[in-house]
Amino acid sequence: MTEPKTDARFTLSLPPEIYRELKGYADAHNLSLKEVVRQALKFGLVAIKISEDPNAELFIKEKVMEPGRNDPVLKETRLQFVW
C-alpha cells in the first residue's frame, strides 16, 4: 500500500453519542476534536492488533481512591474485544 504524501482526508459520520463523548473530552482537555479522533484511532488500531491474537490480553491499570483509605489502590481492568 502506498502512503499518501500529505494527510489523507475523508468525511467521517459519527453517531451523536460518540461525537458528544469525543467533543466533551476535547473540550475538557483543551484539545482539538481532530487530535482526539486521531488518538482514538491510534488506540483502536492497537486494540485491533491485540484482538487478532487469541492469547493476547489488554489490561488497564489505574490508581483509585477507595472510601476509608488514605492511599490509592491499583485497579486492574481486563478488556475483551468482541467484534
Cα(71)–Cα(62) distance, integer angstroms: 13
Helix (H) or strand (E) holding 44: helix 33-51
Greater confidence, 22 or 79?
22
Mean pLDDT of 42-71: 88
Grouping H, G, I as helix, E, B as strand and the rest as coil, residue 5 is: coil
Q: Output b/e per residue, 25-58; b: 16+ Cβ within 10 A.
A: ebeeeeeeeeebbeeeeeeeeeeeeeeeeeeeee
On the question of pLDDT at 81 being above 90, the answer is no
Q: Average per-residue pLDDT in the chain?
A: 90
Which span out of 17-31, 50-64, 65-79 was modeled with the highest average pLDDT?
Answer: 17-31
Contact predicate 81/47, CB 8 Å: yes
- What pTM value is reported for the model? 0.67
